[in-house]
């Protein structure tokens, strides 16, 4: 009797889980396959056996990690048991380097093939990770065109496959400023700590704009439904519409402005041609370490891609209510920003697009399943 093939896929936060879901869905269309996953609801919907919901414990920074250390330890123990005693045909790792690099070492010891899709951003910091990956990983599939040369020189085969967001975000017929809907969209991130810090600031901002700009509507799009109760509680009494992640593009279309927590979501907003302010706040200790190690002027992906500040950044202590109010006021009064955002969208799409990303990823995985 023919043994059923299996794969193990590991993603961390919600964006990685979405990519995992798309990959699993396409694999299952082609193969009778058993999939074990670290991820979240997208992986489950695609048909994976969820080992642990890692999207619920995703963190950034040393101090933040301490709050979820024991949970990640349980994840590691479960992962180690599966890989050692029921080794899959191939392991697929998506982003989340803090945890996935441990899997790389273990799989290398056991002899399980490894495909790393969306490797660590070694072009930003911690370049030594590139050496480890190029020695231990079978395939490294990069999403930015400049990444591949960082990983060359080892045994790994390296391929740029384009960014999955470029094909996910639809083209829209953009509205001129005088016809655009008067609405501001708030995107608070996908980690609990990020969301809490974000909400502290925007509560005062919304209260201000309700009095000063009564013709504007306000929307907040949640990365995950599990955050809804907490967000509703913190924004109680404020006239803001809560929307699900799947409503993002409908909400964004024709919007005046987005206030976006730094991350993949900023690319989605940029690709839709919506002006945005990129914001972020973490613990002061983590921020201090990050500034020592970061090799880029910007943290917002649209700014990094175009190598200039096309989206204002309010980071750490600069991300406060007064600064955000002033920046929003300036942007909604600058009519040229909308046409500029649309030109930037076209340039970013050109930079990120390289065929069908998922087809290329699945094509590599197929080599280990036939």
Q: Is residue 110 part of a domain?
A: yes
Predicted pLDDT of residue 174: 47
Same structural domain, 203 and 105: no
Whether residues 243 and 146 fall in one domain: no
Asked if residue 310 is part of any domain, the answer here is: yes
Same domain, 153 and 280: no
Burial zone of 77 (CB within 10 Å; 0-12 exposed, 13-18 middle, 19+ buried): exposed
On whether both 133 and 205 belong to a single domain, the answer is no
Assigned domain for 176 exists: no
> Which residues does 153 contact at the CB level (< 8 Å), separation at least 6?
134
Inter-residue long-range contacts of 297-305, CB under 8 Å, 24+ positions, other chains counted: 299/262, 300/262, 300/266, 301/262, 301/263, 301/264, 301/266, 301/267, 301/270, 302/266, 302/267, 302/270, 302/276, 302/278, 302/344, 302/348, 303/278, 305/144, 305/348, 305/351, 305/352
Q: Is 60 among the domain residues?
A: yes
Q: Are residues 299 and 359 in the same domain?
A: no
Decide if 304 contacts 269 (C-beta within 8 A): no
262, 136: one domain: no
Q: Are residues 328 and 362 in the same domain?
A: no
* Whether residue 73 is found in the same domain as residue 116: yes
What pLDDT is stored for residue 128 in this prediction?
A: 80
pLDDT, mean of each 10-residue run, the chain (370 residues):
80 92 97 95 96 83 65 95 96 94 96 96 77 94 91 89 88 48 89 88 91 90 87 91 93 93 94 94 63 69 94 94 95 80 93 94 95
Classify residue 45: in a domain, yes or no.
yes
Domain assignment present for 177: no
Name the CA radius of gyration of the chain, rounded: 21
pLDDT the model gives residue 180: 55
The residue segments making up the domain with residue 158 are 5-162+354-366
| Strand, coil or helix: 257 | strand
CB 151 within 8 A of CB 128: no
> What's the pLDDT score for residue 178?
42
In a domain, 174, yes or no: no
Count of C-beta atoms within a 10 Å radius of residue 251: 19
User: Residue 265 in 3-state DSSP?
Assistant: helix
Using a 10 angstrom Cβ sphere, with 0-12 exposed, 13-18 middle and 19 or more buried, the burial of residue 146 is exposed
What pLDDT was estimated at residue 284?
A: 64
**Number of structural domains in the chain:** 2
Task: Report the pLDDT value the prediction gives residue 175, as an integer from 0 to 100.
Answer: 43
pLDDT of residue 172: 55
Cα angle, residue 144 at apex, residues 141 and 146 outer, rounded to 5°: 100
Is the domain of 358 the same as that of 348?
no
CATH value at residue 284: 3.40.50.2000
Q: Are residues 119 and 217 in the same domain?
A: no
- Does 129 share its domain with 229? no
Residue 90 to residue 112: CA distance in whole angstroms: 6
CA distance 198 to 57: 18
Residue 252 lies inside a defined structural domain of this protein: yes
Q: What is the pLDDT of residue 177?
A: 42
Residues 44 and 129 in one domain: yes
């Amino acid at each position: 009797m023919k043994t059923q093939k299996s794969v193990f896929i590991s993603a961390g936060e919600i964006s990685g889980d979405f990519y995992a879901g798309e990959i699993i869905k396409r694999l299952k269309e082609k193969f009778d396959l058993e999939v074990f996953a670290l991820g979240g609801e997208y992986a489950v919907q695609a048909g994976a056996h969820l080992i642990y919901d890692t999207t619920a414990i995703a963190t950034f920074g040393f101090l933040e990690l301490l709050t979820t250390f024991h949970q990640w330890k349980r994840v590691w123990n479960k992962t180690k048991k599966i890989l050692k005693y029921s080794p899959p045909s191939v392991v697929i790792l998506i982003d989340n380097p803090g945890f996935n690099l441990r899997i790389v070492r273990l799989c290398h010891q056991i002899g399980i093939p490894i495909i790393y899709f969306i490797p660590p951003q070694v072009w930003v910091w911690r370049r030594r990770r590139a050496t480890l990956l190029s020695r231990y990983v079978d395939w490294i599939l990069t999403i930015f065109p400049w990444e591949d040369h960082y990983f060359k020189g080892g045994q790994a085969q390296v391929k740029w496959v384009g960014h999955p967001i470029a094909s996910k975000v639809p083209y829209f017929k953009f509205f001129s400023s005088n016809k655009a809907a008067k609405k501001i969209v708030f995107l608070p991130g996908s980690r609990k700590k990020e969301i809490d810090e974000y909400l502290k600031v925007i509560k005062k901002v919304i209260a201000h704009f309700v009095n000063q700009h009564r013709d504007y509507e306000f929307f907040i799009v949640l990365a995950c439904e599990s955050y809804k109760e907490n967000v509703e509680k913190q924004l109680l009494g404020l006239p803001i519409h809560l929307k699900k992640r799947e409503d993002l593009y409908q909400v964004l279309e024709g919007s005046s402005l987005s206030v976006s927590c730094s991350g993949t979501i900023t690319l989605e907003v940029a690709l839709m041609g919506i002006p945005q302010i990129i914001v972020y706040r973490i613990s002061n200790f983590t921020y201090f370490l990050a500034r020592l190690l970061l090799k880029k002027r910007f943290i917002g992906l649209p700014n990094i891609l175009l190598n200039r500040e096309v989206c204002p950044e309010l980071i750490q202590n600069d991300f406060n209510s007064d600064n955000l109010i002033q920046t929003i006021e300036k942007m909604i009064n600058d009519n040229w920003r909308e046409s500029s955002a649309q030109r930037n969208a076209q340039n970013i799409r050109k930079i990120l697009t390289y065929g069908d990303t998922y087809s290329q990823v699945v094509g590599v995985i197929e080599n280990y399943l036939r």
